[in-house]
Amino acid sequence: MTNNPTNLEALAEKKVSRRDILKTAGIGGVGVILGASGLGSVLSLKESKASGPESNHEIVPFYGEYQSGITTKPQNHVYFVSLDVTTSKREDLSKLFKDWTKASALMTEGKAVGKLSSNEFLPPDDTGEAAGLSPSNLTITFGVGPSLFVKDNQDRFGLKHKQPKELVDLPAFPLDALEEEWTGGDLCIQACADDLQVAFHAVRNLIRIARGKATLRWAQTGFQRSKEADPKKETPRNLFGFKDGTVNPDVDSEKQVNEHIWVQPGDGPDWLVNGSYLVVRRIQMFIEVWDRTNLREQENTFGRYRDSGAPLGQKNEFDKPDFNQKKETGEEVIPVDSHVRLSHGDGTQQILRRAYSYADGMDLKTGSFDAGLLFLCFQRTPSKQFIPIQNRLAKMDKLNEYTSHRGSAIFACLPGAKQGGFIGETLFN
């Protein structure tokens, strides 16, 4: 097989592992091949789809029409940060995004952000803890929050006229127990990887690059069972022991991603076309209370069986729920206050859920675990997707007895960048 354009595009369309590249080119040294064959630029043309990583060592292309980390198949770990911008200069902001873009492209290829050890009289460019580690499917996704546009009635960067109508603080929902320390932010970075050290390294270096321009506001790590621990690659289970992530838009369907995930021309300002809105909720789960709850009650809470993940009344995980099915007593088989019935609604509002569990030691106020779900979801129009769904859930979801929403934020995730361009180009230029 030679490196003709068709083969290269086929590779770019698939996920490309280092081993694939080496096999295809028949020579050693990824850097050499990327440079010599032009594969790097082919990779940059298309964002990888969800079709799954075969190994944990692959490269997810950073450049593309869309940012990676949205329709990318979820990796084992997330390191999520929200930032406050401290500079008041717009040029600083666009410079920051240019520097972030270059650094991110390098790190997603498993490379350092600069020379590892060059001048003994200066701190090294790269912090070093990812040296020798594989790219681990690292994705880095950037978003901008409503407060970047207007804060305390100030048009901070002359961007007010570019603020999308959809990019406003979420309404207060019944039962919200939000804490300032987990809420809001001018910018966000979602780094996902199959290795936590790789994800942390990425965020750490980006924060370092932001020195003098932006600072950390809040940070949250998250995990799923690792792919190595689950050879059957089943739907991951959340900390309540239920399969979580069964029903989601099909990210391999162009129709579905355009309908539910990517911002389309005419939806709002042009700069966000091919971007997506991210809603983040830090939801504490009272796992000790749950563990004292009987199985029937647990299953009625979700409206699904714990073991199989099937909707109540059905056999298999991916069977369609029958919301009209009744018991002999006349009661609904899938209870009216169950999580799946309420979140499903009439089925027209769909969001791409990409949630991770978190376990942050203990809640000092109660002595219980501070554990739960870092709920991350992407969508085209929050006012027609997350907000109505969450309104229904907040009113009467049985799950509310076992959870508490402690943090919240909304961001517009920028469109992807071409090689030579930068993330945020459409907004800042």
Q: How far apart are CA 83 and CA 100, in angstroms?
A: 14
Rank residues 63 and 240 by Cβ distance to ligand L6N33NVT and give the closer one. 240
Smallest separation (angstroms) from ligand L6N33NVT to the CB of 218: 18
Smallest separation (angstroms) from ligand L6N33NVT to the CB of 383: 13
What contacts 132, CB < 8 A, 6 or more positions away?
A: none
Smallest separation (angstroms) from ligand L6N33NVT to the CB of 149: 24
Sign, Cα dihedral of 66, 57, 225, 220: negative
Interacting residues with ligand L6N33NVT between 230 and 249 (CB under 6 A): 238, 240, 242-247
Smallest separation (angstroms) from ligand L6N33NVT to the CB of 226: 19
Q: How far apart are CA 220 and CA 284, in angstroms?
A: 12
Q: Indicate the angle between helix axes 90-108 and 196-209, nearest 10 degrees.
A: 150
Residue 217 as a binder of ligand L6N33NVT (CB under 6 A): the answer is no
Residue 404 as a binder of ligand L6N33NVT (CB under 6 A): the answer is no
Residue 251 as a binder of ligand L6N33NVT (CB under 6 A): the answer is no
Rank residues 155 and 401 by Cβ distance to ligand L6N33NVT and give the closer one. 401
Smallest separation (angstroms) from ligand L6N33NVT to the CB of 327: 20
Rank residues 402 and 428 by Cβ distance to ligand L6N33NVT and give the closer one. 402
Interacting residues with ligand L6N33NVT between 259 and 318 (CB under 6 A): 281, 283, 285, 302, 304
In this structure, are residues 140 and 191 in contact, taking their beta carbons and an 8 Å threshold?
Answer: yes
Residue 201 as a binder of ligand L6N33NVT (CB under 6 A): the answer is no
Rank residues 49 and 243 by Cβ distance to ligand L6N33NVT and give the closer one. 243
Site string for ligand L6N33NVT, 362-401 (x = CB under 6 A): ----------xx-x----------x--xx--x--------
* Distance from the first to the final alpha carbon of the chain: 42
Smallest separation (angstroms) from ligand L6N33NVT to the CB of 340: 5
Q: Applying CB under 6 A, which part among 108-116, 141-149, 150-158, 336-344 lies near ligand L6N33NVT?
A: 336-344
Residue 421 as a binder of ligand L6N33NVT (CB under 6 A): the answer is no
Rank residues 60 and 167 by Cβ distance to ligand L6N33NVT and give the closer one. 167
Contacts with ligand L6N33NVT: how many residues (CB under 6 A)? 26
Rank residues 113 and 312 by Cβ distance to ligand L6N33NVT and give the closer one. 312
Which residues contribute to the site for ligand L6N33NVT (CB under 6 A)? 238, 240, 242-247, 281, 283, 285, 302, 304, 339-340, 343-344, 351, 372-373, 375, 386, 389-390, 393, 403
